A and B are shown apart, each in its own frame.
Chain A
Amino acid sequence: GAVVSQHPSRVICKSGTSVKIECRSLDFQATTMFWYRQFPKQSLMLMATSNEGSKATYEQGVEKDKFLINHASLTLSTLTVTSAHPEDSSFYICSARDQIAGGGETQYFGPGTRLLVL
């Protein structure tokens, strides 16, 4: 259980184009998903919290107009990197919140999307 998929796994695009990344919870419903970015040999950085049916909450310093998030259903959130530039090249990882034993909750991660902007 608690499987999260991401598509595409890898994308190469030209500077100035937009790229959409999909995150799906395959065997559970996720009212909340998270988008992270990770540069090589650095830690995870939370970009935003995506809530089904409402606007995403962005972390400080993350441009909401550049990183568009849509969480239109209980199993799908999308991240669109608009007008991508080489500095946006990174590993983008989504996670979905689900319950765990004992009444708590945690995050399950998708496999990540590696974005390279030329």
Chain B
Amino acid sequence: QKEVEQNSGPLSVPEGAIASLNCTYSDRGSQSFFWYRQYSGKSPELIMFIYSNGDKEDGRFTAQLNKASQYVSLLIRDSQPSDSATYLCASGGNAGNNRKLIWGLGTSLAVNP
């Protein structure tokens, strides 16, 4: 069973702090990894993707991938109350999965003013 695991949280951080969200995956054949943000009552929105080991930065967001440890993380710098949402990790790019994304259950983040 191919799985993506996330801590459900809630993760609570003060405004201005760094929020660190973590994800592990079981399928070594996965080639791409995604972070989606989902506000309550809304649909998911893609915020980051990463293919290669190391860090990828986009504004206040940094995605980190370690394929040897099968670990993906998302760092949010200078967290804002508007970052409060559920963050979904997904893996993809494995033709054996019919190219579906494998989803984690999400981590709830609360940024406190």
Contact = CB atoms under 8 A, between A and B. Distances in A.
Contacts of B103: 43-44, 46
Contact of B92 (A91, A93, A102, A106): A106
Contact of B101 (A107, A110, A111, A112): A107
Interface residues of B, number: 22
A65 B43 CA distance: 26
A61 interface: no
A106 B98 contact: no
A104 B56 CA distance: 16
Contacts of B46: 106-108
A109 B105 CA distance: 17
Given A46-B100, A49-B98, A106-B32, A112 B92 contact: no
Contacts, number: 48
* Chain B interface main SS type: loop
Contact of B49 (A43, A44, A104, A109): A104
Contacts of A43: 88, 103, 105-106
| Interface SS of chain A | strand
B61 interface: no
Interface in A63-118: 91, 93, 97, 100, 102, 104-112
Interface of A: 32, 34, 43-44, 46, 49, 57, 91, 93, 97, 100, 102, 104-112
